[in-house]
Structure 1
Amino acid sequence: MTNPRHRPGPRFGVNYTPSKGWFHHWLDFDLDAVRADLDSVAALGLDHVRVFPLWPLFQPNRALIRPRALDQLGRLVDAAGERGLDVAVDGLQGHLSSFDFLPAWTRTWHRRNLFTDPEVLDGQTTYLRTLAASLADRPHFLGMTVGNEIDQFSGDPHPDPDRITPAEADAWLRRMLAACEDGAPGRLHLHATYDAAWYLDDHPFTPAHAARLGAATAVHSWVFNGTAQRYGSASFEVGQHAAYLIELSKAWAQDPRRPVWLQEVGAPAPHVPTDRAAAFTRTTVAAALDCPDLWGITWWCSHDVDRSLADFPQLEYGLGLLTNDRRVKPAGRALAAAVAEARASADPPATRSTALVVDLPDDAPERAACGPGGRYFDAFMRLAADGARPAVVLADRAADPAHLAARGITELVAPGDLVPAART
């Protein structure tokens, strides 16, 4: 399955946060405001947006998917296409910027497990299939993401999780992805987790799920996860975090050429101070572009959250490439310049021939060693700082010559092979 609107080289886009009303704009949909937002996005030289229908507004009852909401989404996709922007659509929203958006038919008096209840599953699959089918004939529709970081509903630290096993997570993902494919065959359908899938011990959504199910692997890179706090906002580790996640994901992929989509990355203040946002953007994009098989980079986010809206975490208000009144910020100028430079170069990244060996099983119940402060995280960063451009390979694959050859790996390094670096 490939991108239906393939362009040479990696794609560059943005997660679309409407400048008026944030994602509540679906309640007062204003196509002229959307067009103005998309004009400001296109002016940065980007080629796609990722958009977020709010699930409770589109499917307020399990038996009701609102035709007017589908029509509004279609008009947004058409408006984007008129500006040369392709559109990826998320389905089960789900979780956004610290807020949960779940339909009433899954909560309180109707409390049912989001991942295992038969009626909820029927409602979800019908919704995803319908959403995808409503867009299937639009040439600028890229495909569906099942939902935004919906794995956060499955365990800690969520305050009211729907507990499941890895096997149940696998079954749920396969069914949701099949519904997307039924609705819009051949498009770029995938799922997206937050970094608990890579870093949190015993999380039911595993690295293997992320790297093997769907048409591409999505990684979401946020340095407020302990990376900036532990190593410092101007550290090498902060600048390389996105590249690390891209390469870490490949360790679990069965296809050595599986595309990886850096689907979310942003400069969250104060973890990345405002006066360093442009430098962080340049460094992060350059590091990600040095990773083979990168499908694209989609920055979070397009426009700042209007400060008249209450109760967001402070870091959420200033993540935009553009202000709430559509003025380009330093990070936006830095991304636009990086995009222009990348498109002017026809050289793909070189193969990463040195691989860090990660001794974890497929289901990786103990994966904190991959996170900030973990032995694999620190070993990767040490190799990268020394200029090795490391890949990552699982220990059981390190003994497979065919796998290593397919990835161009000629040197294997274990954390124990490295002399600890002195920190100042």
Structure 2
Amino acid sequence: MRFGVNHTPSVGWFHSWLDFSPSDTARDLEQIASLGADHVRIFPLWPVVQPNRTMIRQRALDDVATVVDIAGSFGLDVNVDALQGHLSSFDFVPAWLDTWHRRNLFTDPDVVASTVAYVEALARTVADRPNLLGITIGNEVNQFAHAPHPAPFGVTAEQGHAWAATMVAAARRGLGTDGGRGLEARRGSAPLVTVAQYDAAWYDDAQPFGPEHAADHGDATVTHSWVFNGAAQLHGALGPGSVRHGEYLLQLAAAWNRDPHRPNWLQEVGAPTNVVPPADAASFTEQTIRHVLGAQDVLGVTWWCSHDVARSLADFPELEYDLGLFTNDGRRKPAGEAFAALARSAPASPAAPPATGIVLDDVGPDGTPRPGVRADCAPGGRFAAGWLALAEAAPDGRGPQVLLRSRLHEDVLRAARGITTIEHVPDGLDGTVLAVAHPATGA
């Protein structure tokens, strides 16, 4: 189980890449290391690195490599995100992809070729660093694929698969690795490549990028858990459906893994103050992580985020100014204390799989795909309510694994996942869906 933090620079936020300061970065990373974290996730801004479709700035790539080296000096591994993409309610896409030059991010051949060149160059720049945890293709890039984004790029699920496969291949070429490295990456012996999506992939039936895109591409299945998606509105800040949301999302996403031992990474989770009062942030942090520790094959948890956004920066949603484990001037907050206590006391070995599995009816009686499956899984949906009821009633306090009905016949898979008891969604659940389909502004 790895414990990490998403690095939000305390000086200049992510705009700091425009005027990179090794000393400011070192101060932030030393504070992160003081929490007992073993890794950070960093976010070079795409337009800064590739301001023109045929121009990749070596100075910007060198700055990324410098951050990886600084992190290593404090004992931190680094995951590098490529396509920013979307960060804390702001979009960062190059000018050559917008307005007068607008082309489809996912399907335009010239755009895809240029993006491939960038991803490969970024991966190649850091490939030889011994503390490289891996490359994530982009931060919640699926938010560009559909509403509520104000100007989405149209893409089908099939085109999304082609795009994700192309980007993963580019990263692997840059790293000089092949696929199937998830378990090695968890043990620290190989970098991994991942694809990150916000939770519409599991909760919004209209989102072109879905569970299969998370489970079929890269070396681990990545989830981002934000309880302002309806969970906290329904259950309260510290209700079971809120503090168990990260655990639930890990189990839900893992249901689509074809490899029963594929690592599952809670790559983003935080305590958003629009639904979690600051006085509850430490308890929310502690309870969320403890429940995540009970899930199987968890690569790690990476908290959002390291430092609060400075109040001198304008136009952020209010919650963004108070998401850090540290204040903007570097004081450790109660949530930071809770994170540090867990990072230092967590068991060294991953949890054994929960023995109970709950069936998700992804297909109907005739075996055809069932409409509305993702809505059922959203907070307040019938399946989400059924999972939570079983989790709360479990003698060991652990939520059940999720088993797709379409795979019930795969006895070998079920045995490999350690599922010995199969449950179904209890009757009498009304399934009032409260999920809010929007990008995670904390990301």
Q: How does the TM-score come out when normalised to structure 1?
A: 0.94
Contact persistence 2:281–2:334 (CA under 8 A): yes
Contact persistence 2:382–2:429 (CA under 8 A): no
2:238 counterpart (234, 243, 249): 234
For the residue of structure 2 that corresponds to 1:309, the secondary structure is coil
Paired position in structure 2 for 1:293: 297
Cα-to-partner distance string for 1:238-283 (whole Å, 9 max, x where unaligned): 0100000000011111000010010000000031110000000110
For the residue of structure 2 that corresponds to 1:63, the secondary structure is coil
| 1:196-215 pair list within 5 angstroms | 196-215=200-219
Equivalents in 2 of 1:125, 1:373: separation in Å?
39
Seen in structure 2, the aligned counterparts of structure 1 residues 113 and 399 have a Cα distance that, compared at 3 Å, is: same
Paired position in structure 2 for 1:137: 128
Contact persistence 2:228–2:274 (CA under 8 A): no
Return the offset for 1:348. Answer: 3.7
Paired position in structure 2 for 1:17: 8
Paired position in structure 1 for 2:98: 107
Cα-to-partner distance string for 1:292-313 (whole Å, 9 max, x where unaligned): 1000000000000001000000
2:322 matched to 1:322? Answer: no
2:158 matched to 1:156? Answer: no
Equivalents in 1 of 2:369, 2:97: separation in Å?
29
- Matched letter for residue 355 of structure 2: S
Paired position in structure 2 for 1:340: 344
Contact persistence 1:42–1:83 (CA under 8 A): yes
- Matched letter for residue 150 of structure 1: V
Return the offset for 1:349. Answer: 1.9
Seen in structure 2, the aligned counterparts of structure 1 residues 76 and 309 have a Cα distance that, compared at 3 Å, is: same
Q: How does the TM-score come out when normalised to structure 2?
A: 0.90
| 1:271-286 pair list within 5 angstroms | 271-286=275-290
| 1:236-251 pair list within 5 angstroms | 236-251=240-255
Equivalents in 1 of 2:145, 2:371: separation in Å?
15
| 1:123-134 pair list within 5 angstroms | 123-134=114-125
2:367 matched to 1:357? Answer: no
Paired position in structure 2 for 1:368: 375
Contact persistence 1:355–1:393 (CA under 8 A): yes
Contact persistence 1:206–1:363 (CA under 8 A): no
Cα-to-partner distance string for 1:55-75 (whole Å, 9 max, x where unaligned): 001000011111111111111
Equivalents in 2 of 1:418, 1:333: separation in Å?
41
Seen in structure 2, the aligned counterparts of structure 1 residues 346 and 231 have a Cα distance that, compared at 3 Å, is: same
- Matched letter for residue 143 of structure 1: G
For the residue of structure 1 that corresponds to 2:30, the secondary structure is helix
For the residue of structure 2 that corresponds to 1:408, the secondary structure is coil
Contact persistence 1:148–1:193 (CA under 8 A): yes
Long gaps (5+) in structure 2? 178-190, 431-443
Equivalents in 1 of 2:221, 2:410: separation in Å?
22
Return the offset for 1:399. Answer: 2.5
2:81 matched to 1:74? Answer: no
| 1:80-91 pair list within 5 angstroms | 80-91=71-82
Seen in structure 2, the aligned counterparts of structure 1 residues 109 and 39 have a Cα distance that, compared at 3 Å, is: same
Equivalents in 1 of 2:129, 2:239: separation in Å?
43
Equivalents in 2 of 1:185, 1:70: separation in Å?
17
For the residue of structure 1 that corresponds to 2:331, the secondary structure is coil
Contact persistence 2:220–2:262 (CA under 8 A): yes
Return the offset for 1:350. Answer: 3.2
For the residue of structure 2 that corresponds to 1:50, the secondary structure is strand
Return the offset for 1:173. Answer: 0.1
- Matched letter for residue 90 of structure 1: D
Equivalents in 2 of 1:382, 1:191: separation in Å?
31
- Matched letter for residue 371 of structure 1: A
Seen in structure 2, the aligned counterparts of structure 1 residues 346 and 18 have a Cα distance that, compared at 3 Å, is: closer
Cα-to-partner distance string for 1:82-139 (whole Å, 9 max, x where unaligned): 1100100000100000000000101111110000000000110000000000111111
Seen in structure 2, the aligned counterparts of structure 1 residues 420 and 157 have a Cα distance that, compared at 3 Å, is: closer
Long gaps (5+) in structure 1? 1-9
- Matched letter for residue 321 of structure 1: L
Percent sequence identity over aligned pairs: 53
Paired position in structure 1 for 2:439: none
Contact persistence 1:203–1:365 (CA under 8 A): no
Question: For structure 1, which segment, 126-135 or 405-414, has the greater mean C-alpha deviation from structure 2 after superposition?
Answer: 405-414
Equivalents in 2 of 1:92, 1:350: separation in Å?
34
Equivalents in 1 of 2:285, 2:405: separation in Å?
33
Equivalents in 1 of 2:119, 2:262: separation in Å?
24
For the residue of structure 2 that corresponds to 1:14, the secondary structure is strand
2:388 matched to 1:378? Answer: no
Paired position in structure 2 for 1:5: none
- Matched letter for residue 178 of structure 1: A
Equivalents in 2 of 1:247, 1:81: separation in Å?
32
Paired position in structure 2 for 1:167: 158
Seen in structure 2, the aligned counterparts of structure 1 residues 242 and 267 have a Cα distance that, compared at 3 Å, is: same
Paired position in structure 1 for 2:28: 37
Seen in structure 2, the aligned counterparts of structure 1 residues 100 and 364 have a Cα distance that, compared at 3 Å, is: farther
Equivalents in 1 of 2:215, 2:348: separation in Å?
27
Return the offset for 1:420. Answer: 4.9
2:395 matched to 1:404? Answer: no
- Matched letter for residue 107 of structure 1: D
Equivalents in 1 of 2:418, 2:30: separation in Å?
42
